[in-house]
Amino acid sequence: MLEFDVYLPRYYNDGSLIEAEKTSHITEKLVREFGDATSINEVSGAWIRPEGKRMVDRIVIIRILTFDKPHEECRAFMEILRHDMEVNLKQGMVLITEREVRVVP
């Protein structure tokens, strides 16, 4: 089983709040595709840009468990989702991570 974390930004790069309808649409899309989505409360992230500027962002992490779906199908969906999020949310990059997990017996 795979576990994906989708790092959903709360703000556009210009600092304005991303509309709730857009973020809700992404969560609904994930639930339709995988049957589950767990939202981890808004958290802050920080990083240093290559030119040395410190950046801070607010994100919501949406965790997905894939259960019985084929791994390659899940990865292909996530690649398309990442691209769509980058375009529609006007982000330079959206982070989606993947891990192989198992349920404790």
pLDDT at residue 99 in the model: 97
- Cα 30 to Cα 63: distance, rounded to the nearest angstrom: 10
Q: How many domains does the chain have?
A: 1
Query: Tens digit of pLDDT for each residue in 44-54?
Result: 877 777 888 87
Which residue range forms the structural domain that includes residue 11?
Answer: 2-100
User: Which two tokens mark 11?
Assistant: 């703000």
Report which of residues 29 and 42 the model is more confident about.
Answer: 29
Q: Which of 18, 66, 64 is nearest to 42 (CA)?
A: 18
Query: Tens digit of pLDDT for each residue in 58-100?
Result: 899 999 999 989 999 999 999 999 999 999 999 989 999 999 9
Query: How is the chain split among helix, strand and coil, in percent rounded to 5?
Result: 30, 35, 30
The structure tokens 């992490």 sit at 61
The structure tokens 């199908």 sit at 73
CATH number (domain holding residue 94): 3.30.70.120
User: Which pTM does this prediction carry?
Assistant: 0.88
| DSSP single-letter state for residue 10 | S
Average pLDDT over residues 13-35: 94
67, part of any domain: yes
20, part of any domain: yes
